[in-house]
Amino acid sequence: MKLGRELVSADAIQRRVREMAAEISRDYARVDQPLILLPVLKGSVCFATDLSRHLEVPVNFDYVAVSSYGSGTESSGHVQLLKDLTMDVAGRDVLMVEDIIDTGLTTAFLFEHVQRHRPASLKLSVLLNKEERRIKPVPIAYKGFDIPNQFVVGYGLDYNELYRNLTAVHVLEP
Ligand code: IMP
Ligand code: MG
């Protein structure tokens, strides 16, 4: 597999991230405790970091990590929690931050997991959405881009742990 053409440019990502941050800042302007940003490791780190720097509301960070068993370009659907919440999210406003939603299995699992801790609200922001691949529906509150059914890397997303540091999103090619 090798790095293919650019699908979403660094400029387009930065522009969209600023728009999303403005929308999120408006929606959470009136909450009395800091919004808890909950990036899903590791892929969401670039997106969550950039997004947070444009937010105009107070935030806390917590992180969760999952493995979906299996490498390469197919997720297996068996989701395992590798790192749990460390903050008490009960009664708090939580915004999960995802890099990409493909089948939806990972996000649906995490969403249900966080919901069990009784947050005041739980919403989902995602940079990239592959709608065509959805198996399990997930409620996306803030969406960056719809993309076609292709395996992509960059801006946090990896192929066998490579390419996470790219500033743009690229297609991976055989
Ligand atoms: P889902 O459970 O199928 O929605 O996808 C779960 C995870 O698979 C995502 O959080 C990513 O870590 C990974 N994934 C899915 N599609 C891609 C892709 O195109 N590039 C890199 N990782 C991906
Ligand atoms: Mg991920």
Q: What are phi and psi of 167, to 5 degrees?
A: -85, -15
Radius of gyration of the chain (CA): 15
pLDDT in tens, 68-97: 765 566 666 688 999 999 999 999 999 999
All residue ranges of the chain with pLDDT < 70 are 69-77
State residue 105's pLDDT score. 93
The residue annotated as part of the active site, out of 50, 62, 102, 146, is 102
pTM of the model: 0.95
As a whole number of angstroms, the distance between CA 73 and CA 66 comes to 16
CA of 154 to the centre of ligand 2 (A): 12
DSSP code string of 9-44: -HHHHHHHHHHHHHHHHHHTTT-SS-EEEEEEETTT
As a whole number of angstroms, the distance between CA 141 and CA 9 comes to 23
Q: Tell me which residues have their CB closer than 6 angstroms to ligand 1.
A: 43, 68, 75, 99-107, 151-153, 157
| Domain locations in the chain as residue ranges | 11-147
Fold (CATH) for 11-147:
Rossmann fold (3.40.50)
Would you call 93 a catalytic residue per the annotation? no
